[in-house]
Amino acid sequence: MNNSIRFLSLLTIVFITLLFINGIHKSDVESKTNTHENYKIKALKLPQDLNFAGERVPLENPNIFERMDRELLVNTYWQSNGLLLFKRANKYFPVLEPLLKKHGLPDDFKFLALAESAFIDETSSAGAAGIWHFMVETGKEYGLEINSNVDERYNIEKSTAVAAEYLKKSKEKLGSWTLAAAAYNAGNYGVSSRLEAQKVKSYYEVLLPNETERYVFRILALKEIMTNPEKYGFVFEKEDLYTLPEITIVKVDTTVTNLVSFGKKFGVTYKELKIHNAWLRENKLNNKSRKVYEIKIPVK
């Protein structure tokens, strides 16, 4: 009886050992697989007709090819951020596109605005705000009202007009839209002084600070990906994207002492009012100068 028990115990131990070894082997095989068999991280083929505002990207230059490849890879495989950009762009591109046309800017500059702010109404660590990421000093220099009560950097119509003015002056000074885009990051003096010192005339020839070195290539990458979403693995339906509601404009040329009460007159909450008028920074509109402001009211 004891011998039988010992024999069964030995068989059990051998069986468990075999299972354990098989489990280790299986685990080892799975670890070598590492990712799902259908998931592949592929090198990207750069399109040879890349351009910014009609200005060709010289991809035959190995350095330019490498820099463009880097930004295309980074923005293609940062999938969650990329998909969010598609969703937000569906809200703001239809607003931006006619404004850019109105103010004489190439349509590609909508991708600059996207690269700047990702279409989020947040102030950067450096103090830049609005979708065009204006600093306080620059905004005021170009006529935007910026104070604790009103900040027109958050007004898409007014800030786009200022961005257009700034960029057109940069293009006139520097000679190309590509350099104007670079100057939006590094400043006109920052770009022009380096062009002069290095005796070159192109963004693709001049050595700039690292952030500006990457800046235009990031804009180009966003343009390429968002123009060809399925080519880069982004698949979505129209209903997946974000939209802006229909709005009506209410013109105000007086003080508004309480925006909560003001909103209630039009059937909207304070939160809804601030979402669509982020330039209103307090729960009132002082308006001592009797200026005419346009307040957006979402239509229910």
pTM above 0.75, yes or no: yes
Number of structural domains, the chain? 2
The pLDDT of residue 156:
97
Q: Residue 58: helix, strand or coil by DSSP?
A: coil
The pLDDT of residue 16:
52
The pLDDT of residue 40:
77
Written as six digits, the tokens of 70 are 């880097």
Has residue 21 been placed in a domain?
Answer: no
Distance CA 261, CA 267 (A): 10
Q: What CATH number should be reported for the domain holding residue 159? A: 1.10.530.10
Among 9-23, 106-120, 141-155, the least confident range: 9-23
Task: Give residue for tokens 């346009």.
Answer: 294
Has residue 18 been placed in a domain?
Answer: no
Q: Which amino acid is present at 266?
A: F
Distance CA 47, CA 154 (A): 35
Q: Which of 191, 207, 240 is at the close of a domain?
A: 240
Distance CA 73, CA 12 (A): 54
What's the whole-number mean pLDDT along residues 64-79? Answer: 96
Better pLDDT: 186 or 35 = 186
Let me know whether 166 and 262 are in one domain. Answer: no
121 — pLDDT class (breaks 50, 70, 90): confident
Q: Per-residue pLDDT tens for 227-268?
A: 999 999 999 999 999 999 999 999 999 999 999 999 999 999
What's the whole-number mean pLDDT along residues 56-67? Answer: 97
Q: Per-residue pLDDT tens for 10-34?
A: 555 544 555 455 554 554 444 555 5
**141 pLDDT more than 60:** yes
Phi and psi based region of residue 5 (left: phi greater than 0; alpha: psi -120 to 50; beta: remaining) = alpha
Let me know whether 220 and 260 are in one domain. Answer: no
Let me know whether 137 and 268 are in one domain. Answer: no
Work out the number of other CB atoms within 10 angstroms of the CB of residue 104: 10
Domain containing 197 equals 51-240
Q: Residue 49: helix, strand or coil by DSSP?
A: coil
The pLDDT of residue 24:
46
Question: Which residues is 280 bridged to in the sheet?
Answer: 150
Q: Residue 249: helix, strand or coil by DSSP?
A: strand
